[in-house]
């Protein structure tokens, strides 16, 4: 199965700053079939990005995804208080679909 | 507005079978692909399997010998059964819908999730 490794495990930043989260795959992901989710305590994941770089409906443009093959990134510019959460990547190019272990974005 | 709601026992004894149902409201389950995903406390998400509109399935090989997923079109719901559970199966279990594009083709990321249901395996 494709293993997704996210880094860092925890990222401490202040509102207004920018965040870059990484997701590295154990093998190249076909057609950049990679998604990003945001998860807040007590809530299910929320789709942010699909196809590595396409924003889901209703997602602000301060969220952007990039990357290809094995290396992908999620960038959040101008952090808002509501952006502090756990972010997970998911590959859907192969079954079993797999998720990264998550990056916690916390307020510094 | 389509909504998903997981239902089932919150406590299951070791070696017994975990049974959950995802009740879908607002649209027909026959139109989409569906999935079960779980999340142990403090850990990442784990894909359990996928249900096709036809009722066909794909399972995670790590669970395949113990899992069954099925559609119940009459009641617009789908289910998960996980046999011979252990403490390692304790997790928050989510049902989720795969995305469909405007042409009616599925793409295998999740655009809709239930709120999740906590299942604890303990005697």
Q: Hey, which residues does A24 pair with through a beta bridge? A: A5, A71
Of the pLDDT bands very low, low, confident and very high (cuts 50, 70, 90), residue B99 is very high
**A72 inside 8 A of chain B by CB:** no
**A47 inside 8 A of chain B by CB:** yes
Residue B47 has pLDDT above 90, yes or no: yes
**A96 inside 8 A of chain B by CB:** yes
d(CA A18, CA A76) in angstroms, rounded, equals: 6
**A59 inside 8 A of chain B by CB:** no
* Per-residue pLDDT tens digits for B69-97: 999 999 999 999 999 999 999 999 999 99
Q: Do B47 and A100 touch (CB under 8 A)?
A: no
- Residue A88 · residue A37 · CB < 8 Å: yes
The pLDDT, as a whole number, for residue B44 is: 94
- Residue B58 · residue B69 · CB < 8 Å: no
Mutate to test the interface with B, among A4, A41, A97, A101 (most CBs of B within 10 A): A97
Mutate to test the interface with A, among B39, B93, B108, B117 (most CBs of A within 10 A): B108
Indicate the range of B12-16, B35-39, B100-104, B108-112 predicted with least confidence. Answer: B100-104
- List Cα–Cα distances, A8 to A18, A90, A107, B43, in angstroms: 14, 16, 15, 15
DSSP three-state, residue B29:
helix
d(CA B77, CA B28) in angstroms, rounded, equals: 9
The pLDDT, as a whole number, for residue B34 is: 96
Residue A18 has pLDDT above 90, yes or no: yes
* Per-residue pLDDT tens digits for A64-85: 999 999 999 999 999 999 999 9
**How deeply is A16 buried, as exposed, middle or buried, from its count of CB atoms within 10 A (0-12, 13-18, 19+)?**
exposed
The whole-chain average pLDDT of chain B stands at 95
User: In terms of residues, how long is chain B?
Assistant: 123
- pLDDT mean over B50-67: 96
Residue B102 has pLDDT above 90, yes or no: no
**Which residues in chain B are closer than 8 Å to A96, comparing Cβ atoms?**
47, 60-62
């Amino acid at each position: 199965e494709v293993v997704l490794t996210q880094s860092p495990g925890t990222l401490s930043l202040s509102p207004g700053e920018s965040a870059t989260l990484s997701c590295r795959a154990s093998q190249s992901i076909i057609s950049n079939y990679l998604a990003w989710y945001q998860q807040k305590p007590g809530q299910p994941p929320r789709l942010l990005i699909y196809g590595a770089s396409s924003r889901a409906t209703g997602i602000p443009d301060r969220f952007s995804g990039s990357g290809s093959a094995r290396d992908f990134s999620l960038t959040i510019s101008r952090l808002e208080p509501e952006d502090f959460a756990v972010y997970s990547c998911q590959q859907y190019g192969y079954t079993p679909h797999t998720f990264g272990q998550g990056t916690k974005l916390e307020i510094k | 507005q389509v909504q998903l709601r997981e239902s089932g026992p919150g406590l299951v004894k070791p070696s017994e079978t975990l049974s959950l149902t995802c009740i879908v409201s607002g649209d027909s389950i026959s139109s989409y692909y569906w999935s079960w995903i779980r999340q142990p406390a403090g850990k990442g998400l784990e894909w359990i399997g996928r249900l096709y509109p036809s009722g066909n399935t794909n399972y995670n090989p790590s669970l395949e010998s113990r899992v069954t997923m099925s559609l119940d079109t009459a009641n617009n719901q789908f289910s998960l059964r996980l046999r011979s559970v252990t403490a390692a199966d304790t997790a928050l279990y989510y049902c989720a819908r795969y995305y469909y594009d405007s042409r009616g083709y599925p793409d295998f990321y999740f655009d809709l999730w239930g709120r999740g249901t906590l299942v604890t395996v303990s005697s």
